[in-house]
Structure 1
């Protein structure tokens, strides 16, 4: 399995081409893009082993009399590539769609409307073994309205800078140098952010930041 290798399954080949170019600029290797699940499965049976398997089941619903339901498609892909991270990337981020992704143990459910930088970072998190879902997914898991709370208005400008640096992959020391503050100040801001959004760790804070439109600091 090639590190950061990707297979994309989406009927919208124009979107796939744009996504492929975006990912390749970020160091991913797109092994193939397919408009149908059957073709992707055949390629994997022939030897392709992607680290990430990105699919839009909603885009394929209703395409032909023999099209399997969304959950069946995800189940088949999970069985075909059990070691790959399965990511649903779709315009459909409804409760039903997210519930199906959770049921099939997908590693992420992302919206096609995400900012490119946020999408790339979310896929990077998933490639590192994290799960990335919309906040609504926490309610479906019985965690109330969201396991992570808070609104962007609760976050100060400096705290937003800290989160932007976090999304850029910077350590506390690197953030301190970048923002010209002490490392203890960075830790204090992180502590305040975690408290405000009720996040347990940096990964949850990063997911929250992505969902609230914060971009990685360039």
Structure 2
């Protein structure tokens, strides 16, 4: 491999910032991620404000964010990172239906992983979020969305989550876009939607992008919540 080829390979890597208040957890995550040639850990943070600062300074592709951190939680940090379009956020959770996850949905997290995820799942999740396919674990997505819609949270129990509001009217989605939105609500990935609708992957990506734009949301997860609220999934 020439020096030029090596530099190009480095430039193509998915860059990640790790945000977790336990140094041992960050070390473990780094060890897993850096086994992959296409992933590079470029920064670490032990709290939310530092995660935001790292995202702003380093502009990573993905921030792997712990949901609960003292000194500034992952939800507030996610909200700020997404609002400033600094990176995609992949949330780590223990998931006992963890109420923090509901706040993360509204904050704009692109996906969720269990802290107990296998190394391959972690790497696949990071790659999926970096490439705009925010549905990492469909079975987890469905459970989160079902709990979110079935049991709206209040300020005392949600720890910062935004209370559910009545579902607004859907904007003018085409019939195909409505089908795509329904699939998102069921936790389907782009590949699964393409197979279901018998269309190409690029076509699905275009439809998903149009749906997000028309719904005025930034992530597939937020679109999935809207699908659930409107009874599409």
TM range (shorter): 0.5 to 0.7
The aligned length equals: 144
Bigger CA radius of gyration: 1
2:24 aligned with 1:10: no
Q: Deviations over 1:139-196 (max 9, x none)?
A: 25659xxxxxxxxxxxxxxxxxxxxxxxxxxxxxxxxxxxxxxxxxxxxxxxxxxxxx
Inter-partner Cα distance in structure 1 for 2:55 and 2:125: 24
Alignment of 1:157-168 (within 5 A): none
1:2–1:50 CA contact under 8 A, matched in 2: no
In the alignment, which residue of structure 2 is the partner of 1:50?
A: 60
Alignment of 1:110-121 (within 5 A): 110-121=113-124
Output the TM-score relative to the length of structure 2. Answer: 0.53
Pairwise CA distance, 1:35? 0.9
Inter-partner Cα distance in structure 1 for 2:189 and 2:22: 37
2:118 aligned with 1:99: no
Find the residue that maps to 1:87 and give its secondary structure: strand
Find the residue that maps to 2:32 and give its secondary structure: helix
2:145 aligned with 1:138: yes
1:2–1:49 CA contact under 8 A, matched in 2: no
Q: Specify whether residues 73 and 41 from structure 1 end up closer, same or farther in structure 2 by C-alpha distance, changes over 3 A only.
A: closer
Alignment of 1:69-84 (within 5 A): 71-80=75-84, 82-84=85-87
Alignment of 1:1-218 (within 5 A): 3-26=13-36, 27-45=38-56, 47-58=57-68, 60=69, 63=70, 67-68=71-72, 71-80=75-84, 82-132=85-135, 133=137, 134=140, 135-140=142-147, 202-203=191-192
Gaps of 5+ in 2: 1-10, 151-185, 195-233
2:19–2:44 CA contact under 8 A, matched in 1: yes
The runs of at least 4 consecutive aligned structure 1 residues that moved more than 4 Å come to: 140-143, 197-201
Output the TM-score relative to the length of structure 1. Answer: 0.56
CA RMSD of aligned residues (A): 3.1
Inter-partner Cα distance in structure 2 for 1:198 and 1:101: 16
Q: Deviations over 1:57-76 (max 9, x none)?
A: 31x1xx3xxx3455323222
Q: Specify whether residues 10 and 68 from structure 1 end up closer, same or farther in structure 2 by C-alpha distance, changes over 3 A only.
A: closer
Gaps of 5+ in 1: 144-196, 206-218
Inter-partner Cα distance in structure 1 for 2:61 and 2:133: 13
